[in-house]
A and B are shown apart, each in its own frame.
Chain A
Amino acid sequence: MIRVEGLTKVFRRPRTFSGPFGALRTLVTRQYEERTAVDDVSFAIDEGEVVGYLGPNGAGKSTTIKILTGILTPTAGTVRVNGMVPWRDRSANARRVGVVFGQRSQLWWDLPLIESLRLVGSLYDVPAARFDASLRKLRDLLGLDEFLDTPVRQLSLGQRMRGDLAAAVLYEPPLLYLDEPTVGLDVLAKEAVREFIVETNRTGRTTVILTTHDLADVEALCKRIILIDHGKVLFDGAIDALVDQPRRLVVLLESAPEEVRGVSRDDEGRHVFDIHGDLPALIAAISAEHTIRDLSIEEPDLESVIKGIYAR
């Protein structure tokens, strides 16, 4: 469904000068500063997948999404989405993708939500009957009824996001780009957004590309993640493979010895054991030799794994 090869985007802008006559020099300079936002990125995404596209701020996530949606033209590389080149076949591509930018609404600020949805329906040539059916479904799924007639500028962030999601799937696109759809939302609103994404993916076989900084989103929604930083892909694969590490037993011992059963004391005075097989037996063996003051079990978690990858 999406095929990206050697995608590169370099932003170029005139060099800015400071100091005396800085503004004037900025105006007439022929020197440019270049910044590579996306650097030789390749991946392929199949129909029906929900993929988390992750990276720290400034990693190149949004730039990639903007190229995939046809907003930006890349410096190099090839992209095919539904067999089309997004920035060249912009209109045709637009009909087959839905986009939500969490940071910026695409609704008409001064009009009631329902009017925004009707305008979207017209722009995508959705026939009246299909529009009504679609709207009925979305009203239930997203609970739009309570604010359908409220001007968008008066909606809460959670309501606005639900409105934006409705606008993005109203014409039933087979592909959905969600750029930080849960940013700034409270726990309940986040939950509603996640449930909606799961439902859309399940019933419509909709392919979803999701960027987020909330790893709970990723754990709830994605089987696969693509990690990027400084414009380069660091990891592309199943989350399971990434977090496929043993659980760990963390103990704090009364005597704080240098070493216990081949494990040395860490900076915080604890001993950390990988758990292979029989946990009670391990605990029994330790407590036979030492007095245990505190004990906990750590699940391998995505956050620490990802932090580890960024730090590399």
Chain B
Amino acid sequence: MAEVVRALRLYVLLQRASARGALQYRLNTAIGVLSGAIWQGTGFAFIWVVMHTFPSLAGWGLAEIAFLYGMRLTAHALAMIPMMSVHDIHWVVRNGEFDRFLLRPLNPLVQLMGNRMGLAQFGDLLVGVALLAVASQNAHVGWSPGLIAFCALAIVGGALIETAFLLALCSLSLRMIDTFALRVFLDDVFSKFGSYPMKIFGGVTEWLLTYVLPVAFVAYIPSSVVLGKLDTPWALAAPLLGVILVWPAYLIWRRQLTHYQSVGH
């Protein structure tokens, strides 16, 4: 426990240092946040245009889809803000910077995560939270303390699901395996399929996205619960999946770490 507290304290320290470093390039940071927000905003604008023609998709109205979209985006931002340098691990592996994380008395993963924050993803977070707030008003969500707690936990759980898949995939980069294509694929599946009611894809796709790559658990299932479209008791356990998946992902990371080859012998 003391070790966890120490790791957290040092993580904050490292992250503050990296932010101080990054903020020296103020304009770059500001543009990053802004472009993140615009990028995600256009994603939703597309839905808005589609919904102009079809007032409902698989029984979901615009406000409801906006809620789903906002939930997915918020979870995504919460995953990427701390995980950005894991996402970009190939850089630190290729230029040998990863070596230094192995030379210091702190979990290398914590040091890697503390290397750089996903500052641009604060733009995602902004859009995500705004969408959630506006959409829950328009969709007439009957908020109760229990439902708010469920929603918050589901967002964290959703972030953890994305974190788990990202971590497992990126740990392959420790063996100098290029995971760029797979990472883009993962990003795409989570954002393109995770942001819409799963039903519109139907059949096999829906099944795959629920049981194989459980994108449905990030936002579709939890938002169905919040919007009163789903009230099976097992759906309430959706936030747990992220917690369950993170552990094996971490074990894969640990395993790949022993295969780390460094550069330039």
Chain A: residues with CB nearer than 8 A to chain B? 11, 13, 37, 58, 60, 62-63, 66, 69-73, 87, 90-92, 94-95, 97, 99, 101, 103-104, 106, 108-111, 115, 119, 122-125, 151
Interface of A is mostly: mixed
Residue B140 CB within 8 A of the other chain: no
Which listed residue, A11, A63, A70, touches B102 by the CB 8 Å rule? Answer: A70
Sorted nearest first, the 4 A-B pairs with minimum C-beta distance are: A110-B21, A94-B105, A91-B105, A63-B265
If A95-B105, A101-B99 touch, whether A119 touches B265 (CB-CB below 8 Å) is no
- Would you give the shortest CB distance from A289 to chain B, in whole angstroms? 56
- 9 inter-chain pairs at a CB distance below 8 angstroms, sorted by A residue, are A73-B260, A91-B105, A91-B106, A95-B105, A97-B103, A104-B96, A104-B99, A123-B106, A125-B105
Residue of A nearest to B265 (CB): A63
- How does the 8 Å CB contact mask read for B1-21 relative to A, with 1 for contact and 0 for none? 000001000100110010011
Interchain CB contact under 8 A, A111 and B103: no
Bound: A106/B104 CA distance, A: 10
Bound: A115/B10 CA distance, A: 14
Residue B264 CB within 8 A of the other chain: yes
Bound: A147/B31 CA distance, A: 32
Interchain CB contact under 8 A, A73 and B21: no
Interchain CB contact under 8 A, A119 and B264: no
Residue B100 CB within 8 A of the other chain: yes
Most buried by A among B100, B103, B258, B259: B103
- Would you give the shortest CB distance from A102 to chain B, in whole angstroms? 12
Bound: A103/B97 CA distance, A: 11
Residue of B nearest to A69 (CB): B103
- Within residues 207 to 242 of chain B, which ones have a CB less than 8 A from any CB in chain A? none
Interchain CB contact under 8 A, B103 and A99: yes
Which listed residue, A63, A72, A108, touches B17 by the CB 8 Å rule? Answer: A108
Interface of B is mostly: loop
If A62-B264, A71-B260, A73-B258 touch, whether A119 touches B14 (CB-CB below 8 Å) is yes
Interface size on B, residues (CB 8 A): 27
Bound: A261/B113 CA distance, A: 74
- Would you give the shortest CB distance from A151 to chain B, in whole angstroms? 8
Interchain CB contact under 8 A, B17 and A111: yes
- Would you give the shortest CB distance from B120 to chain A, in whole angstroms? 17
Bound: A15/B16 CA distance, A: 43
Bound: A115/B13 CA distance, A: 11
Interchain CB contact under 8 A, B265 and A60: yes
Interchain CB contact under 8 A, B258 and A66: no
If A106-B100, A110-B24 touch, whether A123 touches B265 (CB-CB below 8 Å) is no
Q: Beyond the given A72-B260, A122-B10, could you list 16 further A-B residue pairs with CB under 8 A, ordered by the A residue number?
A: A37-B265, A62-B265, A70-B102, A70-B103, A71-B102, A73-B258, A73-B260, A97-B103, A108-B17, A110-B20, A110-B22, A111-B17, A119-B14, A119-B17, A125-B6, A125-B105
Interchain CB contact under 8 A, A92 and B105: yes
Residue B261 CB within 8 A of the other chain: yes
Bound: A62/B105 CA distance, A: 21
Residue B262 CB within 8 A of the other chain: yes
Bound: A151/B21 CA distance, A: 10
- Would you give the shortest CB distance from A60 to chain B, in whole angstroms? 7
Bound: A119/B105 CA distance, A: 12
Interchain CB contact under 8 A, A111 and B265: no
Determine the chain A residues whose CB is within 8 A of the CB of B6 once the complex forms.
125
Determine the chain B residues whose CB is within 8 A of the CB of A103 once the complex forms.
264
Determine the chain B residues whose CB is within 8 A of the CB of A119 once the complex forms.
13-14, 17
